[in-house]
Structure 1
Amino acid sequence: MSSFHKIVIQNLSSDTEQFYVFQQPAVIAANGTDQSVTSTSLGTGTLLPYDQSGTELVFKFDVEFLVGAYSKQTTASQTRIVLAPLVQSNLESSWPITLTPSTEGTEVDNSSNLSPQPLGLSKPAYQQGVPAGNFGIQVPSYTPSAGVDLFCGTAVKDDKGGITLSSYITPPPVSSVFCAPIAKYYIKVGTEAAGNIITFSTGNAALCDFTTGYSTCNVSYNADGSFIVTGK
């Protein structure tokens, strides 16, 4: 049975508000060089004032980390990165994956091999040299093509089974990519559908930090625009 990180939001203001959730960007390196990481929204919802409706907005994300890759033939800039069933020229791939533990000599399924064309990810297996707290993606030689977007990184699954590529890069050919995902999520006022590319910013955001062992974070949005978060 899957376990989830649960976020419960109450709107304590007098106005109907919209909220969206996103994750702390993973630290991603390729061949030892830190990469510029793109972040996406993981979901959004509209919430009436709590004292008028008794309504709460709930997000649940699987505690398991996923390696993900996405490829799309496009004629315009790509604005959404959502892993979903195959549609037209979209290809998506993901697997649950284990981070390398800090204990030396412990072998876990911590790395996957990327096939760019056609897109695919091998089932994760143990790979030496993946740093603790990371999983690896082994990228072969390939020729980037005009009009073809290729991304890989860390993905998140919600309680409905939807999978979104949360933090990603365009991988350099012939590279070892190391991803260090972080179980921290943020809530902001606004509307950003799952998969929408966002500018990561923690300003005026509520931090839901599941690295401390919490399974649930209760988020209150106050009339003055501030947030209060309590974990349990």
Structure 2
Amino acid sequence: MSTLLTINVKNYESQTQNFYFFQQPAIYTGGGQVYSNSLFSQSLGNYDATGAILTFQVNLQYYAGIQQANTPPQIGASSGYASASRAIDLAPGSGGSGRPNDWTTATVNPLGLSAPIYGEGVQPGAFRITTPVFNSPPYYNVGSAVAVKGGIVLSNFVQANPASNTDCQPVLKYYVQTGSYTPGVLMNFSQSSVNAALCDFTGRSYTCNVSLKSDGTWTTQLQ
């Protein structure tokens, strides 16, 4: 059975609030600027008045993703449309061993990713996506995808370069912020993460309880 990371949110502010969830961008080798998408968004009433808790769950399984887009990434717009993803392993850390399936090769016609195999020279803790020769437009985004609410969402990405390798090292840190971003819509990570609640799952915790206090500050508790 797959492992789920769970974030439970309580709202102690007097008014109903919208919340959205997003992930810290992965560490990329190859490609240019890193972009982030919203993963989930929903409103939540005051806990004392409603007893309501907002639960966000994401599968711990890592996914490589590719997405086709008509234009370069723009904040506030959908990052793309047609997409493909593959469950994938990460290369061993420094001093590690084994032959994980950490390398996938993309195709653009049709759009897809090959079944992952073991690749030499992938950055420790990362997976690799190799892109073919292509001409833009259309554009292609490659990066780290996650399983949320029964679907796969491209969490963060770089614009793919033709005939190149992109190594992606996912980071198991998720954020909760007030506001509304539709899942799959490009957001400004630097701005959104300011004063957001951070759930750091890198220490092998699997649940984070988050409270928005009446004064607008956050508390978080890992378990």
By how many angstroms is 1:213 displaced? 1.1
Looking at structure 2, the residues matched to 225 and 122 of structure 1 have their Cα atoms a distance apart, in angstroms, of: 46
TM-score normalised by the chain length of structure 2: 0.93
Aligned-residue Cα RMSD (Å) equals: 1.9
| DSSP 3-state at the match of 2:39 | strand
The aligned length equals: 219
Aligned with residue 36 of structure 1, among 30, 33, 36 = 33
Are positions 1:189 and 2:186 aligned together?
no
Distance of 1:60 and 1:184 partners within structure 2: 13
Decide whether the 8 Å contact of 1:81 with 1:164 is kept in 2.
Answer: no
Partner of 2:18: 18
The one-letter code sitting in structure 1 at the alignment partner of 2:37 is: T
Structure 1 counterpart SS, 2:49: helix
- Structure 1 residue 198 corresponds to structure 2 residue 190: no
- 1:166 Cα deviation after fit: 0.7
In structure 1, how many angstroms separate the alpha carbons of the residues matched to 2:130 and 2:70? 22
* Residue identity in the other structure for 1:216: T
Q: In 2, distance between residues paired with 1:207 and 1:91?
A: 30
Shift of 1:27: 1.3
Partner of 1:87: none
Structure 1 counterpart of 2:62:
65
Letter in 2 for 1:228: T
Task: Render the CA deviation track for 1:181-217: whole Å, top value 9, x for unaligned.
Answer: 1010000010011111000032110000010111100
SS of the residue corresponding to residue 82 of structure 2 reads strand
Q: Partners of 1:190 and 1:104 in 2: how far apart? A: 41
Q: Name which of 139, 148, 154 aligns with 2:144.
A: 154
1:49-128 equivalent positions in 2, closer than 5 A: 49-73=46-70, 79-81=77-79, 90-102=81-93, 103-128=95-120
Give the secondary-structure state (helix, strand or coil) at the position aligned to 1:224: coil
**Which residue of the other structure, out of 31, 41, 46, is the alignment partner of 2:43?**
46
In 2: Cα distance, 1:170 partner to 1:197 partner: 13
Alignment correspondent of 1:178 = 167
Aligned partner of 1:222: which letter?
A: K
Q: Which segments of 5 or more consecutive residues in structure 2 lack a partner in the other structure?
A: none
For structure 1, list consecutive stretches of 5 or more residues without a partner in the other structure.
Answer: 83-89
Runs of 4+ in 1 over 3 A off after TM superposition: none
